[in-house]
Amino acid sequence: MDINPKIFKPYDIRGIYPDEVNEEAAYRIGSAFVVFTGAQKVMVGRDGRVSGPALHTSLIKGIIEQGADVLDIGQASTDMFYYACGSQHLPGIMVTASHNPAEYNGFKLVKEMPDLVSGEDFLGAASSKTFSAASRKGSVRPWDIRNEYRKKVLSLADVSKIPEGLTIVVDPANGMGGVAYDIVYKDIPVTTVKLFFEPDGTFPNHGGDPTKEENRRDLCSRVKAERADLGFAFDTDADRFFAVDSTGVYVPNDFLGALLAKYLIEKHGGGTIVTDALIGWAMRDLVREAGGTVFMSRVGHVFIKREMDKNKALFGVEKSGHYYLPDFYFAESAVGTSLMLLEMLGHCKKSLHELTRPLREKYHMIEPVNFKVSDPDAVLDAVRERYSPSCEIQELDGISIIAENWHANVRKSNTEPVVRLNVEALDGGLMEQKRDELLKLIQG
């Protein structure tokens, strides 16, 4: 059976189970990974998806039949998997489709933390027709990483600064974030109101992508009902973090990332923050005010991590909710980022609502809008032609339009067949005007 080339994405491997991603594909990916990396030992884990156990078993079979040993952490969040790979200096494969719907599954491939293998780069190896049998069969050893993982994540923040008496509503969307949260927060002195903590790969309550408003409604309403201090959301593999303030209002990652970046710059007496090209102007202004530097990168963990390493950055932020931590192998830990937020609140002695209020008054942005278009390149050309006479145009990632009091970005998604629009302005009316103008242009 030939493996479906469609499942090999820019960042990872994903497809619908069992039509595109299945046991045969898992076996081949396991075998090819050993050949591709030359690994003698491979870390393996899986999230809570229904198809996970079957794919996990076939993946391990492919690895050990190529002669490599397996260290198996079992069911885990992505940041638990990253910790396992990083702490043992091992390559690894995680069976996960991140925040995709329940019918999907896939694989994240780690060469050596923080370097992940692109699905596209791995296609050739996985498409090999045959793999020669190894002279010895590898072994499989389970590893319970909970205690070691907990110690590592707790080291990412000064938990002594966490304010006393906080009530936090937490929604991991029946993904792995609830497992990770319970491990790390078991002795943290906060009151937790739990929503949808039980791992359930059918995701019965709502989808696993908190960037979508419909997936935040339960959290926002429960924060208000409980009169909680704030709310946390994780995507279903727990590598992205999102927050809601005490009024039940979602805090854009542009604001949350800017506040955390400013705090880290002040804490360290300077430094560099790496962001994607989509992030709002609050990041630029708050980091500058704190005496730091912002370096912009293309969207995607490969590019962000590379620039963080090159610039010795304190922190990396993507608008989509990825927060990259140098002390965590330049990788994401949603639970670790949540601890950093609580540390910041304790230091500032202000609520998240108080900290974000002036940002909401100054910076007006849309939530990203996706468009399915027949010719994405033609859309980008039209945007460039329309705005280049009057605005600065940057092409680091898609088309960025920069004017004195507004900016926008139009780019092709690397994970979905869409063109994505972001707009921000220093005036609400101007934001709406530019949004409508760009919507009309994109929709032809």
Residues annotated catalytic, as ranges: 98
**What's the CA gap between 208 and 201, in Å, rounded?**
10
Which string of b and e fits 273-307 if b means at least 16 CB within 10 Å? Answer: bbbbbbbbbbbbbbbeebebebebbbbbbbbbbbb
What ranges in 177-272 are assigned the alpha helix state H? 177-185, 217-226, 253-268
CA angle 196, 202, 207 (to 5 degrees): 60
**What's the CA gap between 224 and 235, in Å, rounded?**
21
Q: Is 227 exposed, middle or buried (0-12, 13-18, 19+ CB in 10 A)?
A: exposed
In Å, how far are 69, 146, 203, 355, 361 from 335, measured between CA atoms? Answer: 30, 13, 20, 21, 29
Q: Is 148 exposed, middle or buried (0-12, 13-18, 19+ CB in 10 A)?
A: middle
**What's the CA gap between 287 and 423, in Å, rounded?**
21
CA dihedral 297, 303, 306, 308 (to 10 degrees): 40
My answer on whether omega of the bond before 389 falls inside 30° of 0, hence cis, is no
Backbone phi and psi for residue 423, each to the nearest 5 degrees, phi listed first: -140, 140
SS3 labels along 1-14: CCCCHHHECCCCEE
Residues 408/424, Cβ–Cβ less than 8 Å: yes
